[in-house]
């Protein structure tokens, strides 16, 4: 404490200085100006008042701040410490105050990472990151024609910061982390190189600080704080999961893929509940029950697959189509979120059809969805996994059972949705056996969601929405306690002439083999796009890489066990183990555990790429050639993405067997 303010330390690092002549805190009032179109948001603020808090008092260790122009609005700060963290409990005496600004310090050479699942930039410095779960957008680059077209078509272009999974948590290269404990809309502003600015649309928040002696310890603390995932099931990591949505023809196609020699442990049919054709493409019928017309003998098919060691996976999301029977059932029970102006269920426009919102703030509604739908219609039916989609669509003008502000409930919604899924699996005693994967998230989703997927990439190599964003998403989210990550092999979004090239398919097959889960997707317009079974060449390549993926299962199992014990993610940025500023911005290659380095080709028409190897002796997986620290130009034909292993790894015999079997 000082006579006119105070300093805040993370360990021995001063991260905040507040003085009456230079306040680090300000409060104010504002009114949101928001527009939502199918999960895409335009967010502006009508700011009425901003008051720098230029008065300070030390109240027996607690802190009181206020503005000389408005002494009635006092910001009280209590400092709590425990073995895990230091927390500032920030509360305002004036309930009308709904804006808070905090300026934290940063060193000139300090790097920041995190922010949830960021798709464009791993290092956050120099940019502004709002934390609001939403559709990430199509294109995500305002300079491109595709993004501009999509912006006109319903605010759907996105930007570098738009993401399904934001989280107001960031890690520093100086081995401390900051978490803003609130579900309110907030922003991290790193556009000024000497400050880390925080803006929050709520004045009652907790600001948490964590410190560690190294980054692995810091990431472990993030996992301790937000939740630890169960181990991935053996079946999910020991072969590929093929995604097909072709009704009865699915099974003939699956057998063709299996006959290619592919190592298959799962068949994912998101259309198990039926299809709704729209202008966007082939959509699903959002009533979460087996569609016997599209799959007339599905129970027998599931049983037959199970005998072969192949699991069946489906699809679900937290909404109910208004023209389906489950909507009627939920409405009759009073389990749907309501309109503000009536007791009618709120209907969300999802593009040529409407759906109701199951109100998860009502414990009975959450339990109903968990048991009635996921438990009975899915797990009891024979599903071993599913895509738990959406979660980011909650409108900000619904009326909720618990009376909470939908502006805050919006960010909490993915966490509530993840819990509904996890509870269903736990109710059947299948935690660690059945699994689900989500794209939406927020602080605390780690407790319930066992597996992330990277959302809906464009089927291309574009800088902000293509194949490369998968790597950034995995690395950024992994720093915050999300151990497992994967993507739609081939990408998803195909609009306005953007379709899969053969080059893209080959590169995505290569990349997917070196993720914890290897799962394909046909995309939103299957008929317009290349598929795994479109050619013998694709089939042969997929078969080879699925076998590589399967052979790596013992290593991935060890990494999964490590994740359970320590919270470390399977896919890691180089700087997690090697403290070199040269690695702070590297986001197109990763450590797969500590003993393998993967550098996928994520640019079009490339036959080689530069690979950065950290200290130590590294072995090229395909040739067995030895490399040392430095940047190397490495050949990268299809089927041989640049992959290196540590010579001194205890898994060296496993890696050597891969070289012998699959090497050039």
Give the pLDDT confidence of 385-408 residue by residue, as tens digits: 999 999 999 999 999 999 999 999
Query: Which residue out of 135, 199, 270, 392 is catalytically annotated?
Result: 392
With contact defined as beta carbons under 8 Å apart, do 243 and 264 qualify?
no
Distance CA 449, CA 452 (A): 7
Give the pLDDT of residue 211. 97
- Segment 483-542, tens digit of pLDDT: 999 999 999 999 999 999 999 999 999 999 999 999 999 999 999 999 999 999 999 999
Q: Decide if 58 is catalytic.
A: no
Strand stretches in 24-85, DSSP E: 25-37, 40-52, 55-59, 62-67, 70-81
Q: Decide if 224 is catalytic.
A: no
Q: Tell me the pTM.
A: 0.97
Give the pLDDT of residue 1. 59
Helices and strands in the chain: count of H runs, count of E runs: 13, 40
Query: Which residue out of 271, 456, 488, 595 is catalytically annotated?
Result: 456
Give the pLDDT of residue 238. 98
Query: Which residue out of 354, 389, 423, 510 is catalytically annotated?
Result: 389
Give the pLDDT of residue 431. 97
Give the pLDDT of residue 129. 98
Nearest in space to 620 (alpha carbons), one of 603, 602, 637:
637
Q: Which residues contact 481 (CB under 8 A, 6 or more apart)?
A: 219, 222, 223, 224, 225, 226, 227, 228, 446, 567
Distance CA 635, CA 643 (A): 11
Q: Which residues contact 378 (CB under 8 A, 6 or more apart)?
A: 288, 314, 316, 386, 424
Q: Decide if 389 is catalytic.
A: yes
Give the pLDDT of residue 61. 79
Sheet holding 435-437, edge to edge: 435-437, 385-388, 311-316, 264-268, 240-243, 519-520, 488-489
Nearest in space to 563 (alpha carbons), one of 443, 397, 450, 401:
450
Residue 128: burial class (beta carbons within 10 Å; 0-12, 13-18, 19+): middle
Distance CA 379, CA 495 (A): 34
| Regions in the chain scoring below 50 on pLDDT | none
CA atoms within 13 A on the CB side of 183: 18
Give the pLDDT of residue 551. 98
């Amino acid at each position: 404490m000082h006579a006119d303010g105070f300093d805040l330390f993370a360990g021995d690092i001063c991260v905040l200085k507040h003085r009456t002549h230079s306040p680090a805190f300000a409060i104010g009032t504002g009114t949101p100006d928001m527009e939502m179109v199918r999960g895409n948001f335009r967010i502006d603020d009508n700011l009425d008042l901003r008051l720098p808090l230029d008065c300070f008092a030390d109240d027996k260790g607690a802190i009181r701040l206020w503005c000389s122009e408005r002494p009635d609005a006092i910001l009280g700060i209590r400092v709590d410490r425990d073995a895990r963290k230091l927390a500032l409990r920030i509360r305002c005496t004036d309930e009308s105050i709904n804006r808070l600004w905090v300026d934290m310090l940063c060193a000139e050479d300090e790097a920041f990472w995190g922010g949830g699942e960021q798709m464009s930039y791993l290092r956050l410095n120099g940019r502004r990151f709002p934390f609001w779960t939403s559709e990430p957008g199509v294109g995500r680059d305002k300079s491109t024609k595709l993004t501009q077209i999509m912006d006109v078509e319903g605010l759907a272009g996105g930007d570098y910061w738009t993401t399904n999974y934001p989280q107001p948590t960031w890690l520093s290269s100086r081995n401390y982390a900051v978490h803003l404990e609130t579900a309110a809309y907030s922003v991290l502003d790193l556009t000024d190189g000497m400050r880390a600015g925080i803006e929050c649309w709520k004045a009652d928040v907790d600001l948490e600080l964590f410190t560690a002696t190294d980054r692995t310890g810091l990431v472990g603390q993030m996992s301790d704080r937000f939740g630890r995932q169960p181990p991935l099931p053996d079946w999910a990591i020991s072969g590929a999961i093929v995604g097909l949505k072709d009704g009865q023809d699915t099974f003939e196609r699956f057998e063709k893929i299996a006959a290619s020699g592919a190592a298959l442990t799962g068949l994912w049919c998101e259309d198990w509940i039926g299809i709704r054709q729209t202008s966007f493409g082939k959509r699903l019928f959002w009533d979460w029950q087996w569609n016997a017309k599209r799959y007339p003998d599905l129970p027998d098919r599931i049983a037959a697959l199970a005998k072969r060691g192949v699991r069946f996976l489906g699809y679900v999301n937290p909404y109910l189509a208004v023209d389906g029977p489950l909507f009627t059932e939920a409405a009759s029970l009073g389990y749907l979120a309501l309109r503000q102006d009536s007791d009618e269920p709120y209907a969300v426009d999802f593009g040529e059809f409407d759906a109701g919102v199951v109100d998860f703030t009502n414990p009975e509604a959450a339990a109903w969805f968990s048991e009635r739908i996921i438990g009975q219609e899915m797990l009891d039916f024979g599903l071993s996994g599913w895509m738990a989609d959406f979660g980011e669509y909650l409108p900000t003008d619904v009326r909720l059972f618990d009376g909470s502000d939908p502006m805050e409930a919006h960010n909490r919604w993915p966490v509530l949705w993840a819990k509904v899924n996890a509870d269903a699996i736990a109710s059947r005693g299948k935690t660690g056996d059945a699994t689900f994967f989500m794209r939406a998230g927020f602080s605390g989703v780690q407790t319930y969601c066992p597996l992330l997927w990277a959302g809906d990439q464009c089927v291309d190599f574009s800088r902000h929405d293509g194949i490369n964003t998968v790597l950034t998403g995995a690395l950024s989210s992994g720093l915050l306690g999300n151990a497992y990550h994967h993507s739609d092999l081939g990408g998803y979004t195909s609009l306005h002439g953007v379709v899969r090239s053969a080059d893209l398919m080959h590169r995505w097959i290569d990349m997917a083999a070196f993720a914890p889960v290897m799962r394909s997707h046909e995309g939103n317009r299957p008929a317009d796009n290349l598929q795994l079974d479109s050619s013998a060449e694709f089939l042969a390549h997929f078969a080879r890489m699925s076998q590589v993926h399967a052979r790596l299962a013992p290593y991935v199992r060890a990494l999964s066990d490590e994740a359970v014990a320590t919270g470390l993610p399977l896919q890691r940025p180089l700087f997690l183990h090697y403290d070199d500023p040269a690695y702070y911005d590297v986001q197109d290659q990763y450590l797969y555990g500590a003993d393998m380095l993967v550098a996928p080709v994520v640019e079009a028409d490339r036959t080689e790429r530069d690979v950065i190897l950290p200290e130590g002796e590294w072995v090229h997986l395909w040739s067995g050639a030895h490399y040392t620290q430095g940047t190397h130009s490495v050949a990268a034909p299809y089927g041989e993405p640049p992959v290196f292993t540590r010579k001194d790894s205890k898994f060296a015999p496993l890696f050597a067997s891969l070289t012998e079997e699959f090497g050039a």
